[in-house]
Amino acid sequence: METQSPNPALPGKWNPGHTSHGLRGDYSRVRPDFTLDQPLDRYSEAEHDRWRRLYARQMELMPRYAVNEFLDSIEQLDVARGIPDFARVNRMLGRLCVNAMPLLSRLYWYTIEFGLIRVPDGLRVYGAGILSSSGETVYAIDSDVPNRIAFDLERVLCTEYRIDAFQESYFVIDSFEQLFAETHKPFASLYERLRNIPPIAANAVRAADRVLHRGTIAGRTS
């Protein structure tokens, strides 16, 4: 989502608050759980055409910034021809409920939505939230502003995130096998141990972190 609140810590072109419009869309029918039905039958041909053009523009960035697994998977979703039925897409992807508890929402956020991975050619993006934004796609890889920290499950579970601006920290996995192994650990005991621990600020860098890049936005080490 490109429309975001200004973050005074982000300089120049990396500040997503430099926009001239408010939130897009009609939010009058949003349910208390922040979901709403997709008006699939009401989309006009002009809206489908806009989707096709935006999709094509974003896909031009993908060979440089996206991990190969993303490129392979998005072809299978068949979403280039117009605004997709997101209920169908969700069924194909499998659905993770991010509202179950704060800890799991952070894991979802920093992996599925905003995850980075190290590959032989350097850092690449696999998080769909990054890859849906032309600005954050470039920012997540090329900018000196955000922290890039090696993935640690407990660290991720305790770390707050931004919903109104580009991320201040990204967590980097070495492989998808690492991510699968980490997320197959028993969560009940982890949740009991971590649920009352104060959350870590989104821009924090801690002494125990394996820091790949300390961003200019970094907060105090603790």
78 and 168 both lie in a single domain = no
CA 191, 192, 198: angle at the middle one, nearest 5?
75
Q: CA 49: distance to chain centroid?
A: 25
pLDDT of residue 86: 80
Asked whether residue 4 is domain-assigned, the answer is no
Q: Is the pTM above the cut of 0.85?
A: no
Separation of alpha carbons 14 and 134, rounded Å: 11
Is residue 4 scored above 60 in pLDDT? no
Asked whether residue 16 is domain-assigned, the answer is no
pLDDT digit string (tens) for 71-81? 888 888 889 99
Among 68, 95, 122, the domain-final residue is 95
Among 95, 123, 140, the domain-final residue is 95
Structure tokens of 207?
């002494």
Is residue 31 scored above 50 in pLDDT? yes
188: Cβ contacts below 8 Å, ≥ 6 apart:
none
Among 49, 79, 95, the domain-final residue is 95
218: Cβ contacts below 8 Å, ≥ 6 apart:
147, 203, 204, 205
Is residue 15 scored above 50 in pLDDT? yes
207 and 128 both lie in a single domain = yes
pLDDT digit string (tens) for 168-210? 999 999 999 999 999 888 777 788 788 788 999 999 999 999 9
Q: What is the CA radius of gyration of the chain?
A: 18
pLDDT digit string (tens) for 80-117? 999 988 888 776 655 444 333 678 889 999 999 999 99
Separation of alpha carbons 157 and 160, rounded Å: 8
The two beta strands, 122-125 and 211-213, are unpaired
Asked whether residue 9 is domain-assigned, the answer is no
Please give the residue range of the domain that contains residue 68. 37-95
